[in-house]
Amino acid sequence: MKKLLLSFAFALVSAFTFAQATWTVDPAHSSINFNIKHMGISFVQGRFDQFKGEVHTPGANLDNGHFNFVVLTESINTGVEMRDKHLKSADFFDTEKFPQMNFESGSFTKGKGNDYILKGKLTIKDVTKEISIPVTFGGITKNQQGKEVAGLQAKFTINRLDYNIKYDPTGAGIAKDVEVTLFLELAK
C-alpha cells in the first residue's frame, strides 16, 4: 500500500512538473513598435530592435502565465540617426543611466474569444507604474522544427510624462501619449 501511495504521489508531482512550461520570445518573429504624434499634424514611428522575454505558465497553454520582458533602450530605431541619438539622451530615455525598460506581469486573464487582459508593472527610467494591456492571442501551432509556438498581439497607450520623459512637457511638438504595439511569437 505504501509503494502504491508513493507511486501515485510521484506520478502527480511529475504530471504537474511536465504541465508547466516556459515560452521565450523569438526576436526574429517579434517586434516592439511605437507611434507618437509630431507637431499635432503627423506621426513618427519607431521600434526597439533588442528585447527579450519569457512567459512561465502553470499549464500547457498561456493561461495564468507570468510575463517578464526587458527592452534595451539603446536599441531605439526611428530610421533617423540624429533623432535616435536625441532619444537616447537625457532629454528622453537617458540610455546610459537607464539601459532597459522592464515589464513584469501580475495577471493574465481571459476575456471573450481570443482576448486577454495582461496586468503588470511597467518600468521606464526611474518610474514603475501598474498598467493594463489588452492582448489578442493568435493561437498555438508547431514551427518547422516541430516546436510549439504561440502568437500574441498587444496595443496600448502610455503617457510619456508619467515616466519622466519630460522633453517638451506641453506636448505641442511631441505628443504626450505614445501608442505601443507588440507583435510577439513565443517558442515553448
What is the per-residue pLDDT across 76-87, written as a single tens digit (0 to 9) for each?
999 999 999 999
Please indicate, yes or no, if residue 156 is contained in any of the structural domains: yes
Q: Read off the pLDDT band of 178 (50, 70, 90).
A: very high
Please indicate, yes or no, if residue 5 is contained in any of the structural domains: no
What is the per-residue pLDDT across 130-156, written as a single tens digit (0 to 9) for each?
999 999 999 999 999 999 999 999 999
Q: Read off the pLDDT band of 12 (50, 70, 90).
A: very low
Q: Give the global pTM.
A: 0.86
Which grid coordinates are listed for 107? 495577471
Please indicate, yes or no, if residue 103 is contained in any of the structural domains: yes
**Cα-Cα end-to-end distance for the chain:** 38
**Domain extent at residue 25:** 20-187
The residue-averaged pLDDT of 59-88 equals 93
> What is the number of structural domains in the chain?
1
Q: Read off the pLDDT band of 19 (50, 70, 90).
A: low
Please indicate, yes or no, if residue 111 is contained in any of the structural domains: yes
pLDDT for 160 beyond 50: yes
Can you give the CATH number for the domain in which 58 is found? 2.40.128.110
Q: From CA 34, how far away is CA 91, in angstroms rounded?
A: 18
